[in-house]
Structure 1
Amino acid sequence: MENLLCSEVFEENDCDHRNGISFEDCEEAFAFFLAKETTYLPQSAYTKLLQINGFIADARFKAVTWIIKSQRRMDLCDETVFSAVNCLDRFISLNLQCQGWKGWMFELLSIACLSIATKFNETSAYLLHEFQEDLEIWFAPRLIQRMEITVLKSLEWRLDSVTPVSYTHLLTQTFNKTLLHQSTHLLLHLLLDPKFLEFHQCVVAISSVKALVPSSEHGSSFAHIDTLISQDRKDDLIHCQRLMRKLRDETICPPSPVTVLKVNSDAVFSLKMNAGLGSSRKRKREEREDGII
């Protein structure tokens, strides 16, 4: 995978003419997402659960890692990945019995969430066996379908989720298209870090874009964005940006006063993929069917 972010200067474009959308349209869409996003957040205690329950946190990390790897293998769109992770997080936060699950149950949940997300975001249909090509464990299609129904019922069939990438298309309208791709890559990395689950999707999205554009180039575009969120979100925005800077400085970015964040995503992923789902040994199908429904 190429460098996640590159040292490139972003030039503001005329939003009204070059992209076919006005600031008024952006503002209206942004307000729509703001009003809608709280419906698709995990339960408020979920972040705390991930902090105190190492098994759940590890299972989530492996599941998100597998979903991201599946995107590259199956050439899935970004919306599918974020939608699948959103389904995963909401389901776990709603179901306390997940704390007693075995590891393979989370693998099955991951496949079900990704399968559901592809149905709502992809133009091509995928067979259930295609999701399992890089797994040593093989789940019967009927078992995956049963898990899909369990997830759908638990989420009350509310699947049109608002995610950070819902906002980035709007936030990057006045910048070079490269910014959209780089922001999305950054957000993919942030999916692996549960600390960012405590923030609303709009906060994570705005923070990711601001992290990529030097403050000297924020200009009127960011001033306009800041007017779209409430004061309490602005306080969260400051906290989120601090976390992103810390992540950048400690993990993925050498300090640079003049360039935009530069990250080698292969290096980051190589540290994390060792914990992937494919390392589990094969199990008997009878064991996999025990305790799901």
Structure 2
Amino acid sequence: MLLSCSDLLCGEDSGIFSGVQSTECSSDLESPSFADESIAGFIEDERHFVPGVDYLARFQSHSLDASAREESVAWILKVQAYYNFQPLTAYLSVNYLDRFLYSHRLPLTRGRPMQLLSVACLSLAAKMEEPLVPCLSDLQVEGAKYMFEPKIIRRMELLVLGVLDWRLRSITPFSFIAFFACKLDSTGTHTGFLVSRSTDIILSNIQQASFSEYWPSSIAAAAVISAANEIPNMTLINLEHAQTWCDGLSKEKIMSCYRLMHEHVFDSSPRTPRKIFPQLRVAIRARLRSNDSSTSSSSSSSSYKRRKLNNCFRVDDDKGNTE
């Protein structure tokens, strides 16, 4: 039996997902055709989808374990790569985890409770964004230290949903990067590269708790500028110019995030710069796919994982009833 994503969570209130396609608070990679006023609306509302201002201070005071969070995020990224989930799925998972940790205290900040929270957050994010979602037992791959029964994970999902007030359709940096990329490159020559590279940069920094003090718009602006620095004719971009992209942007926050991004992402992980090729003007779709469907069948391991997904896309309760 196959179910829609909304059916996989809870059938008690089918209306809870009735507005997930609304552009008022969409977490997809938004089209640059949105007016400045729409992006400004995202900036105004983004404060509701981030942990509180003292979240980072809790790690600094050791009331929360930064290393445990880092391990959880690393595991989420491994599973995202294993199943070829969208970058947005991984980011949402971490967003749910951070917002939950800020509002609800776990009995332990590492070990089984933290692993269970990570699985539940990834499962919820996958159900929000992925067309095919592995069953809960198969989601626990890539070095998961503990294995949990589906009914235990579902209980944790409901706890997370309650703590987040069922607000899963979050505003993220991916709500801004296409718009900012077009502001930076009005000709559209390198827009595709800017969006793709910015996505890589954003995923590269989410393991660091220090980025949690920046709102999505600042992270997106800093990432787009960092990506532009890899394009020869854009290396002299003025950071202060980013503030003019839309009302509500903070020059100080963007510059601070940009410096932190280079400290944690670039300086600690030296790599060979990508070769830049001119591109035709691109039309940014609502979502960026991590792989092309025309070439996905070329990898035997990818085909195996896809078969595994199809076999597992069933009601978890069927498994739970046999336990």
TM-score of the pair, normalised by structure 2: 0.66
Aligned partners of 1:54, 1:149: CA distance in 2, in Å? 25
Unaligned runs of 5+ in 2: 1-30, 183-187, 277-323
2:195 partner amino acid:
L
1:183 corresponds in structure 2 to 198
1:168 corresponds in structure 2 to 177
For residue 133 of structure 1, the aligned residue among 141, 153, 156 is 141
**SS at 1:98's partner residue?**
coil
| Cα displacement (A) at 1:253 | 3.2
Residues 244, 163 of structure 1: alpha-carbon distance in 2 compared, 3 angstrom cutoff: same
Unaligned runs of 5+ in 1: 1-20, 261-293
1:239 corresponds in structure 2 to 256
Please identify which structure carries the higher helix content: 1
For residue 71 of structure 1, the aligned residue among 54, 77, 80 is 80
For residue 196 of structure 1, the aligned residue among 211, 214, 225 is 211
2:248 corresponds in structure 1 to 230
Conserved? CA contact 2:116–2:153, under 8 Å? yes
1:228 partner amino acid:
C
Aligned partners of 1:254, 1:145: CA distance in 2, in Å? 41
2:264 partner amino acid:
L
Aligned partners of 2:256, 2:243: CA distance in 1, in Å? 17
Conserved? CA contact 2:218–2:254, under 8 Å? yes
Percent identity over the alignment is 27
Aligned partners of 1:71, 1:100: CA distance in 2, in Å? 25
Higher-RCO chain (CA-CA 8 Å, sequence separation at least 6): 1
Aligned partners of 2:264, 2:65: CA distance in 1, in Å? 22
1:276-291 paired onto structure 2 within 5 Å: none
| Cα displacement (A) at 1:28 | 3.5
Aligned partners of 2:46, 2:134: CA distance in 1, in Å? 28
Aligned partners of 1:133, 1:213: CA distance in 2, in Å? 35
RMSD: 2.9
Cα shift readout 1:178-218 (whole Å, capped 9, x = no counterpart): 22111111111110111111111100110011012139527
TM-score of the pair, normalised by structure 1: 0.72
Aligned partners of 2:72, 2:263: CA distance in 1, in Å? 25
Aligned partners of 2:65, 2:42: CA distance in 1, in Å? 29
Aligned partners of 1:195, 1:234: CA distance in 2, in Å? 18
1:62 corresponds in structure 2 to 71
Conserved? CA contact 2:205–2:265, under 8 Å? no
